[in-house]
Every structure is written in C-alpha cells, then in structure tokens.
C-alpha cells in the first residue's frame, strides 16, 4: 500500500468533492424538490389528465437509468439543435431524476396528513391553495424529511455519473489521478473512502435535523 500516494490524493479528492460534488448535489437537489412538489401535486389532482401526466413522469424517470438520462440530455439534445455545457446538463438530468423519486415521497407525506386538517382550513375560510401552503405542506415536510434526506445522500453518490459527460467533480478527479499514477485500485479506494466520509457526515446532520423536528410532532 502506497501511503504517500494515498495522502497525496486524499486532499485533492476532498477538494474535488467540496468544489464539485457538493455544489452539484445542492443545486440538483434544490431544483429537484421544486420539480417533485409540482409532480406530486399533479399526481394528487382530481383532473385525470393532470394526474396521468404526473404518473407518466414518475414512471419514465423511475423506469430508466440515470446514466441514460444524462446521455439523453448531454449527447442526445444536440441532435435536436439544443447544446448544453456539461454542468447545466448534469444539473438538469439529476434534478429531473430527483424529481421523479422525491415526488412520490412528497405525495405520500401529503396524503399522511389527516383529512381533518384540510377541513379545518376550509372552516376558517382558507382556499384550497392557502390550506395546502399554510397547513398541509408544513406538516407533510416533517414527515418527508427522513426519506428526502436519504435521497439527498444517494444523490451525492449519483453525481459520480456526471463524470461521464465531462463534469469535473470528485470521481472525475479520481480518474485523473489514477490515470496519471497508474494506481487505479489505490486511488479508487481512496475515492470510495471520501464518498463514505461525506455521506457519514450528511447522515449525522440528517439525524440531528430529525431530532429537532421530532420536538414539534405530537406523540
């Protein structure tokens, strides 16, 4: 085991994660949540056409590999006259993917709120939209935090696929170092350790957030 190489590659990989992987994860997750909320509301719509659109979106996203989605955005769209740089392509593809999975989490969280909460909003004169925004979504948010946090942690690892469309993030940096040093096993094991380290820290943060939110949940 070449410990000198391990030490020399560790910090560049951490830096690659902090400047590439984490920003890519944050941007994709934030946009993905917006998409997910919209799709969840479509799924819950009483309009059969809107509900079908929501179901179709979830089915397509969950039924196709993320790698294929990345390639369609980056390599496929140019054939239609739409050419996007690597970073926007990765953010769009990852966001669309997150939207498909998180939509079902948000939908289930909304459905978990007792029907009486809707009726309470109507009783005091709130519209359907206001009741959703002020009463239902805050309660659903507490329910959805654990599974959404797991989705966020999974997204950290999924960003490694962005290296296939020329995005410079942690795994791309690992590939560069491995190619230069020819120590593929060592470098990829270090990269795996750094991914694990990031995910462990995020899981610890997730646990603290869940404990804080649990204070406001009646038992």
pLDDT for 117 equals: 81
For 73-121, the DSSP string reads IIIIGGGGT----HHHHHHHHHHHHHHHHHHHHHHHHHHHS-HHHHHHH
pLDDT for 196 equals: 96
Cβ neighbours of residue 36 under 8 Å, at least 6 residues apart? Answer: 98, 99, 100, 101, 102, 103, 105, 106
CA 83 vs CA 61, 90, 168, 169, 185: distances in Å: 21, 13, 18, 21, 35
Burial class of residue 127, CB neighbours in 10 A (0-12, 13-18, 19+): exposed
Cβ neighbours of residue 70 under 8 Å, at least 6 residues apart? Answer: 89, 90, 93, 94, 161, 162, 164, 165
Nearest to 86 by CA among 192, 29, 151, 161: 161
What structural domains and CATH numbers belong to the chain? Answer: 3-214 (1.10.3720.10)
Mean per-residue pLDDT over the chain, rounded: 90
**Quick check: helix, strand or coil at residue 1?**
coil
**Quick check: helix, strand or coil at residue 64?**
coil
Spatial separation of the C-alpha atoms in residues 114 and 139, rounded to whole Å: 10
pLDDT for 119 equals: 77
pLDDT for 136 equals: 84
pTM reported for the whole predicted model: 0.89
Nearest to 163 by CA among 181, 186, 179, 150: 179
Q: Give the model confidence (pLDDT) of 99-116 as tens digits.
A: 999 999 999 999 888 888
- For the chain, count helices (H), then strands (E): 10, 0
User: What residues of the chain score a pLDDT lower than 70?
Assistant: 1, 213-219
Q: How many residues does the chain have?
A: 219
pLDDT for 219 equals: 45
């Amino acid at each position: 085991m070449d410990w000198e190489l391990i030490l020399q590659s560790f910090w560049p990989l951490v830096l690659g994660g902090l400047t590439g992987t984490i920003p890519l994860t944050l941007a994709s997750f934030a946009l993905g949540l917006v998409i997910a909320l919209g799709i969840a509301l479509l799924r819950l719509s009483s309009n059969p056409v809107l509900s079908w659109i929501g179901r179709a979106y979830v089915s397509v996203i969950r039924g196709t590999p993320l790698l294929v989605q990345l390639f369609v955005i980056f390599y496929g769209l140019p054939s239609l006259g739409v050419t996007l740089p690597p970073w926007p392509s990765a953010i769009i593809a990852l966001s669309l993917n997150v939207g498909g999975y998180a939509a079902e989490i948000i939908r289930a969280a909304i459905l978990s709120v007792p029907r009486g909460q809707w009726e309470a909003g109507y009783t005091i004169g709130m519209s359907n939209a206001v009741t959703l925004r002020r009463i239902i979504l805050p309660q659903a948010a507490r329910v959805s935090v654990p599974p959404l946090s797991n989705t966020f942690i999974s997204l950290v690892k999924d960003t490694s696929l962005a290296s296939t469309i020329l995005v410079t993030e942690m795994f791309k940096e690992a590939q560069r170092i491995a190619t230069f040093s020819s120590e593929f096993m060592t470098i990829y094991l270090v990269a795996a350790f750094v991914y694990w380290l990031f995910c462990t820290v995020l899981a610890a943060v997730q646990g603290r957030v869940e404990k804080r939110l649990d204070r406001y949940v009646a038992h």
